[in-house]
Amino acid sequence: MNNVKTTPEKPAKSPKKPIRLGEYLVKIGLIDKETLNKALKTQKSIKKKLGQILVDMGVADDVAIAKALAVSLKIPYGRIDKASIHNDIIGLIPPELAEKHMVIPLRKTGDRLLVAMANPLDLYALEDLRFHTQMPIDRAVVPSGDMTAAIEKHYPRPGLEENLGLEFGAEADDIEVVERRKEKETPIRELQDLGDLPPIVKFVNSVISDAIKMKASDIHIEPQEKSLVVRYRVDGIMREIMRADKNIHAAVASRIKIMSELDIAIKRKPQDGKAQVKQSGKTFDLRVSSLPTSYGEKVTIRILNPATAQLNPEDLGFSHKDLKYLTRAIQMPQGIILVTGPTGSGKPSTLYACLNKLNSPEVNIITVEDPVEFDVTGINQVQINPAAGITFARGLRSILRQDPDIVMVGEIRDPETALTAFQAAQTGHLVFSTLHTNDAPSAVVRLMDLGIGPFLVSASLIAVIGQRLVRRICESCKAPDKLLPEQLEEIRPYIGNQKNVVFWKGEGCEACQHTGYSGRLGLFEMLTLTPALKNVISDGLSSGQLREKAQKEGYHVMSFDGIQKALQGLTTIEEIFRVAPPEITGNSHPLATDSPAQEDLMPKDEDVAEDACLFTTDCPTKILVVDDNLVVLKLLRHLLESEDYLVITAENGLEALKLALTENPDIIVTDYVMPEMNGVMLIKKLKSQATTRAIPIMMLTGKDEEESELEGLDAGADDYLTKPIARKRFLARVAVLLKRTK
């Protein structure tokens, strides 16, 4: 501002009617009348300066408004972000007057005072300044953003520096922070006010209300470069609901933080909080998470329906046979029951349902969770807090000293938690927990990898429940569905020779937002440890051998349960293929009287390809090995070829995908970290295609890549190994996987 020459204005008589900023901006052509009316309407509901509202609407920026006013009024324009103003000058106008009128005194020339204003048309402000200073006032115009920052700088809140215990010298003003992003930081003291603005409160309430009405499980509020995106997860599928002006992001995030008692001042660290809302007389718990991203804080709200906490096993969708097994299992006096499945498969609901069945005044139930999903009367629930030293392992050891009868551990993540849980099961406690594995039999192998010996597993493990969630067909638009020939062939081993089989679909209507689905239900597989299975585990056999033995004992795979639910008209075959694709394993599926004859499963003459391996049993087994480390690739090839396997190799995921489609390998062994396409992406691509979906896959990970391991299992990997690879263990695992192709 100091380099701007100013000509003192001659005092002018105040007009009878003050000039309004909005009308003046219309007059000079910066905005139109319609825009002004919208801004004025907004101003009635939120107590905010008109100029700032226009900026928030995106129709003009504060710099353009200031320059237009300067040219039109023939007054100086400048930026005051770097201006050095003497304290004696600042003292001429008190803080309350500066904040009220958005003004900053710049310099005194003779008996006249030059004042920077965001709105130089505010004649009432000029009169106040003249009255207080007893001086003629000259105007200069600056952008409103500059004014806000200048007031923060020159009129600090009383006691701020003292409270910080610091003294700031003049050198502190010599530092200039280079802005890396265009997004403006909203002053902290404004965030509280922004979050309480009626339009923002209405916006947030409307987003939450609509999500509850749509039965969404999660709300995602995501700032992007030029907009604020709101998405709901409905029936497990993400849907974009709306795009709003990016300018409201800070206010929306502040409002949600206020609701969930989070610190609005913290914007660069993740935070977690809780809130509670009422809708139509029902109370819903909200679990709130904030996460800093490139364009601001992403806020996710998990909507917890209290009705879920009241479920019993009978409400979950277990088959009659599996429900009988589960009821018997949870009535055991001691042992451990595990629920397996990827994130979002409904494992907490199953655990709570079991606990509700057992909850009574006669038993002491204690849980250790991260986080506590629902508050259940009669159950003592402990929240994990690593900062306070409360981990799953430590929390479990502590609650064992509280004389529990039944214990629930939210998740077994490490060897320490696993061992403590099994020791608790051995000392007279019934233990419930979850585990990340692809299916129920794989949980046994996972436990052994966590250091639980075969004898301890067989002695303590009662049952393993594998589960997924699929979308339920909308009852309002339900109609028969005709399957494609290739779909029928894939499920033939599951339906046998049944004639006139009818499947169903949703055609789409207003009730289901034209998706054809409304709500979700569970798919389950129940591995109950019979004496025969305990003997198999004690012998240290693999998950494949365990699966074969279990099928003879009544175990059925999850896809079988899914197809039975599709036959009942509860879900679609497409949903089953998406969530739990059928495995092609010959006649090992649990079909009793309606099993197809062997000849029905054989290809017709016209479908037989010219491949000698279709007519002989001595074709070499083909294995595809994928790794970008040529040393490892050579080692694995040597190991496999020493066992007379035919080995083909690829150095990245894209190359492997092409070979899998053309070479049709019997199994695939893939590394996780690779160029072009990593192991997890490769697995997802393979499992999404009908021609490669049934190929067993083993994923290799490093010792420190537990999360990668879990990603691979969630994607559909059938087994995994950690590097460095032990020869015997690797070959044994390969042999087990090969049995799935026989």
Strands (E), 557-679: 622-626, 646-650, 667-671
For 102, which DSSP code?
A: T
Question: Among 453, 437, 346, 393, which residue's Cα sits nearest to residue 712?
Answer: 437
Q: Quick one: pLDDT at residue 433? A: 94
Residue 216: strand pairing partners: 234
> Which tokens in the block code for residue 91?
């003292």
- Of 586 and 210, which is predicted with more confidence? 210
User: Other CB atoms closer than 10 Å to residue 75's CB: what's the count?
Assistant: 17
Q: Is the CB of residue 640 less than 8 Å from the CB of residue 734?
A: yes
Is pLDDT at 1 greater than 60 in this prediction? no
Strands (E), 227-270: 227-234, 237-245
pTM (2 d.p.): 0.54
Helix, strand, coil percentages, rounded to 5, for the chain: 40, 20, 35
Q: What is the arithmetic mean of pLDDT over 458-479?
A: 93
Helix 485-495 × helix 558-567 angle, to 10°: 110
Cβ-based neighbours of 384, under 8 Å, separated by 6 or more: 368, 369, 370, 371, 390, 391, 392, 395, 410
Q: Quick one: pLDDT at residue 624? A: 93
User: Other CB atoms closer than 10 Å to residue 574's CB: what's the count?
Assistant: 17
Residues of the chain with pLDDT > 70, as a percent, come to: 83
Q: What does the angle CA 464 – CA 465 – CA 470 come to, to the nearest 5 degrees? A: 160
CA distances, 336 to each of 326, 422, 440, 566, 686 (Å): 12, 7, 14, 31, 34
pLDDT (tens digit per residue) in 40-85: 877 776 656 777 777 767 667 778 788 877 877 788 888 776 677 8
- C-alpha–C-alpha distance, residues 121 and 10, integer Å: 15
Q: Tokens 């537990």, residue? A: 706
Q: Which long-range contacts (CB under 8 A, 24 or more apart) does 369-378 make?
A: 369/408, 369/410, 370/410, 370/411, 371/272, 371/287, 373/287, 373/304, 373/309, 373/348, 374/285, 374/304, 374/306, 374/308, 374/309, 375/285, 375/309, 376/309, 376/352
Is pLDDT at 182 greater than 60 in this prediction? no
Q: Is the CB of residue 704 less than 8 Å from the CB of residue 683?
A: no
Q: Quick one: pLDDT at residue 611? A: 35
- Of 441 and 180, which is predicted with more confidence? 441
- Of 153 and 158, which is predicted with more confidence? 153
Element (H, E) at 339: strand 335-340
pLDDT (tens digit per residue) in 434-462: 998 888 888 998 898 888 888 899 899 99
- C-alpha–C-alpha distance, residues 106 and 85, integer Å: 6
